[in-house]
Amino acid sequence: MADPAPTPQELDRPGRPRFFWPGGLSARLLTLTILFAVLAGVCAVPPALASFEAKWLLDRTRAGELASMAPDVAPNKKVSQRVAAQLLDGAGVVRVAIQTDGARIPILPGPVLKRTPYVVDLRSQDPLSWLAAPFQTLFGGEGGYVRVIAKPGIYRTAEFVEIVAPDAELRRELVSYLWKLLLVAAVLTSGVGAVVYLSLNLFLVRPMQRITNAMERFRADPEDAGARVPLSGRRDEIGRAEAELDRMQADLRAALNSRARLAALGEAVAKINHDLKNMLTSAQIASERLAALKDPKVSQALPRLERALDRAVKLASGVLAYGKTQEAAPEPRPVPLAAAVASAAEEARLAERGVTLTSKIAAAERVSADPDQLHRILANLLRNAREAIEHQEGRTTPGRISVSLTRVGETSLVRLTDNGPGVPERLRERLFQPFAGSGRPDSTGLGLAIARELAQGHGGDLTLAESGPEGSTFELRLPGAPEPSPGRKRTAKTA
């Protein structure tokens, strides 16, 4: 039987983290380890060669000094040229001299040199000269000589001791020492680099690979039990990252489960509300027919029935409207604000209910907004203000709503102020939350939530600026402030 085809989630699911991946952090770490190990070895070579050469030259100086003691014990304080040549050859030098009281005294003079020797002063070498001396010997060419100046070891009264020696033997010794040094450096750097690489790979790279793999598996399938990162219990940043990732995955799983349940619930509520709205519409038709009857009992009960049906239809319509897909993106353009306020006031039925609207906006003033969405925002705000005024207990003064426009830089600030009862303190924090921002039993609490969502879709916002027993002020911020057309500012009233 053939194996079933893998699902898209299984195809997208990453495998187990590999110890070495050419494009991964482990490969980069190995590359850096090799580079730094080689760099460390290269940096260690010049000082080692310089130390070796300085010691070799000092040994030759002491040998030359020792050979120069022969004339002191010879008759007449002199030795023959043959004996001097043997002494110089045994010491590995071609000339020995000292300087006393500012005068240079040749102890064992040698033959005339064909090339001028280069000088190495062992008394006081600066670091650059000390490091460059071995390479001068290695690449100075064949048949060269080195003139060495050092502090005296036997001639205590001398200012310095000077020898001249051929550099061929020194070059051979340096080459042999260099190969040994490179071999030792290669072994040491390889061992140290391997330890460093394995340690970093074990303590950093592998945990990061586990964290990355857990994130990738969680992205591919949040329900995958293997996507949970194993906690190592470490107290460093890696341990904190593991713990935070584990908490984040748990929170996201809970949020996804809650979202799935809410989606299913919302779909069910939408279906119920749709059927309920049809039923309520039928009930309204039946109530209108009952109104035609002349029965006193029916006439007495009918207003309560009509109010209950109106509230039920309003609730069902609001829930269905809010449960629709996300609002379309606004298409802002210059809109005459005074005309938009007047149109919204008409829909909010301000004149029918005796609430006065005072517009402090010139006819030429414009705002940048989507006309339809701006109408919905203003209508919601004006309707809420009217209903708040109408439901205020013990009210004796007429209701008033004023609208004004202020420019703040490139922002249009529309202020709507009413003389209603104000927003209760307990409702202010959740004023713009769906189904929770209203204190009236006949309201769905969706008007302000929808209005704010539309304002934020424009890149602006809707906020409660002030509220108290004297009334409330809402501020609608809209980005972009088109220049007003020429015209005089006027104040309009709608009774």
Half-sphere exposure of 14 (CA within 13 A, CB side): 15
User: Residue 372's CB: how many other CB atoms inside 10 A?
Assistant: 11
In this prediction, residues 191-205 reach a mean pLDDT of 80
DSSP 431-446: TTSTTTS--STT--S-
Q: What's the confidence (pLDDT) of residue 68?
A: 77
Residue 137 and residue 174 in contact, taking contact as beta carbons nearer than 8 Å: yes
How far is CA 309 from each of CA 24, 282, 321, rounded to the nearest angstrom? 66, 10, 18
User: pLDDT per residue over 430-464, tens digit each?
Assistant: 788 776 555 555 555 677 888 898 999 999 999 99
pLDDT digits (tens, 9 = 90+) for 220-276: 888 777 777 778 888 888 888 888 888 888 888 888 877 777 677 666 666 666 666
Q: What is the CA radius of gyration of the chain?
A: 49
Which of the two residues, 277 and 244, has the higher pLDDT score? Answer: 244
The pLDDT of residue 492: 43
Kindly report the number of other CB atoms within 10 A of residue 423's CB atom: 21
The pLDDT score that the predictor gives to residue 265 is 64
Which residues is 468 bridged to in the sheet?
A: 471
Contact (CB, 8 A) for 305 and 284 = no
Give the model confidence (pLDDT) of 413-437 as tens digits: 999 999 888 888 878 877 887 765 5
Q: What tokens does 372 get?
A: 């339809």
Around Cβ 322, how many Cβ atoms within 10 Å? 17
pLDDT-based confidence at residue 323 (cuts at 50, 70, 90): low
Q: For residues 388 and 471, what is the distance between their CA atoms, to the nearest angstrom?
A: 10
Angle of helix 447-457 relative to helix 296-322, nearest 10 degrees, comes to 30
The interaxial angle of helices 25-67 and 127-138, nearest 10 deg, is 80
Instruction: State how beta strands 145-150 and 356-360 pair.
Output: unpaired
SS3 at position 17 = coil
Q: Are 208 and 200 in contact (CB under 8 A)?
A: no
The better pLDDT of the pair 62, 105 is held by 62
Q: Please check the confidence at residue 403 and state whether its pLDDT lies above 90.
A: yes
Site of tokens 């040998």: 63
Relative to beta strand 118-121, strand 145-150 is parallel
Q: End-to-end CA distance of the chain: give it in Å, rounded.
A: 83
Q: Average pLDDT, whole number, for the chain?
A: 78
DSSP state of 353: T
Q: Could you tell me the pLDDT band of residue 9, with boundaries at 50, 70 and 90?
A: very low
User: What distances in angstroms separate CA 287 from CA 133, 272, 464, one per listed residue?
Assistant: 113, 22, 40
**At 489, is the pLDDT very low, low, confident or very high (cuts 50, 70, 90)?**
very low
Cα 434 from Cα 447, distance rounded (Å) = 8
Confidence grade of residue 476 (pLDDT, cut at 50, 70, 90): very high
Q: For residue 473, name the pLDDT band (cuts at 50, 70, 90).
A: very high
pLDDT tens digits, 140-180 = 777 788 888 888 887 777 888 888 888 888 888 889 988 98
- Please check whether residue 90 is in contact with residue 83, taking contact to mean a CB–CB distance below 8 angstroms: no
The string of pLDDT tens digits covering residues 361-381 is 998 899 999 998 999 899 889
Contact 372, 334 (CB under 8 A): no
Confidence tier at 477 by pLDDT (50, 70, 90): very high
Alpha-carbon torsion (233, 234, 235, 238), positive or negative: negative
Average pLDDT (42-53) is 87
Q: What is the pLDDT of residue 313?
A: 63
CATH of domain 333-494: 3.30.565.10
CA–CA dist 177, 95 (Å, integer): 26
Binning pLDDT at 50, 70 and 90, where does residue 17 land? very low
282-308 pLDDT per residue, tens = 776 777 777 677 777 766 666 766 666
Comparing C-alpha atoms, which of 210, 177, 209 is closest to residue 44? 177
Measured in whole angstroms, the distance separating CA 35 from the mean position of its chain's CA atoms is 29
pLDDT score at 19: 46
Taking residues 75-104, report their average pLDDT. 77
Locus of tokens 């969502």: 453
Structural tokens at position 88: 């110089």
For residue 339, the model assigns a pLDDT of 92
DSSP 189-240: HHHHHHHHHHHHIIIIIHHHHHHHHHHHHHHH-TT-GGGSPPP----SHHHH
Q: Return left, alpha or beta for 54; rule: phi > 0 is left, psi -120 to 50 is alpha, else beta.
A: alpha
What is the spatial distance between Cα 234 and Cα 212, in angstroms, rounded to a whole number?
Answer: 17
Give the confidence band of 317 by pLDDT, cuts at 50, 70, 90: low
- In contact, 471 and 388? CB cutoff 8 Å: no
Domain residue ranges of the chain, discontinuous segments joined by +: 25-185, 248-322, 333-494
* DSSP helix, strand, coil percent of the chain (3-state; round to 5): 55, 15, 30
User: ∠ CA 385-388-392 to the nearest 5 degrees?
Assistant: 145
pLDDT band at 490 (very low <50, low <70, confident <90, very high): very low
